[in-house]
Amino acid sequence: MNVKGYNAYADANTIVDEEDKGKLLIKVFDAILAKLDLIKQYIERKEYGKKYEELSKVVTAIEVLNSSLDMSYGEIPHNLSLVYEYLMKRLREVHRSLDAKPVEECRKILSEISDGFIAAYESEKKKSLSGSNPQGCSPQKNSWV
């Protein structure tokens, strides 16, 4: 994923301005990935109530990520939105089934997206710390996420 995909969240007003928004976004992905691991365990242990609860939280988190995309960045946020829609569809299917394969598939896709965001975040952080601040970012308060 490149920086444009990362910047697709630039105008997300749902995140506290004082926070390092990049770190916050990465934490969201980490939490989603951890919950997907937990859901897989619940399926294996046949704890269907817990599976349903955690799955609902993950779908809601992806809905929030999707609605936070800034479509003015063009094709990348649009494509990312399509991926989020697909992930939500697949995870909703898990509500009705006991199959962990869609969970594994979604985890793999989200892990790749997360890795891309981490790489873009680190790249932008290095730029802002080195003084080549093309987007007006400051190390303490990033406005590009």
Q: Does a structural domain hold residue 111?
A: yes
Q: Does a structural domain hold residue 9?
A: no
Alpha-carbon dihedral sign for residues 75, 76, 79, 81 = negative
Model-wide pTM > 0.85:
no
Query: For residue 19, is pLDDT > 90?
Result: no
Q: Does a structural domain hold residue 46?
A: yes
Q: Does a structural domain hold residue 87?
A: yes
- Structural contact between residues 110 and 90, judged by C-beta atoms closer than 8 angstroms: no
Number of folded domains in the chain? 1
The domain in which residue 80 lies consists of: 19-125
Q: Does a structural domain hold residue 6?
A: no
Q: What percent of the chain has pLDDT over 70?
A: 77
Q: How many beta carbons lie within 10 A of that of residue 35, not counting itself? A: 18
**Per-residue pLDDT, 45:** 95
Per-residue tokens: 86: 């697909």
Check which CATH number belongs to the domain holding 120 and give it.
1.20.120.340
Give the range among 75-84, 86-95, 133-142 with minimum mean pLDDT. Answer: 133-142
Name every residue whose Cβ is closer than 8 Å to that of residue 15 and which is 6 or more positions away in sequence: 21, 24, 25, 68, 145
- Per-residue pLDDT of 38-81, as tens digits, reads 999 999 999 999 999 999 999 999 999 999 999 999 999 999 99
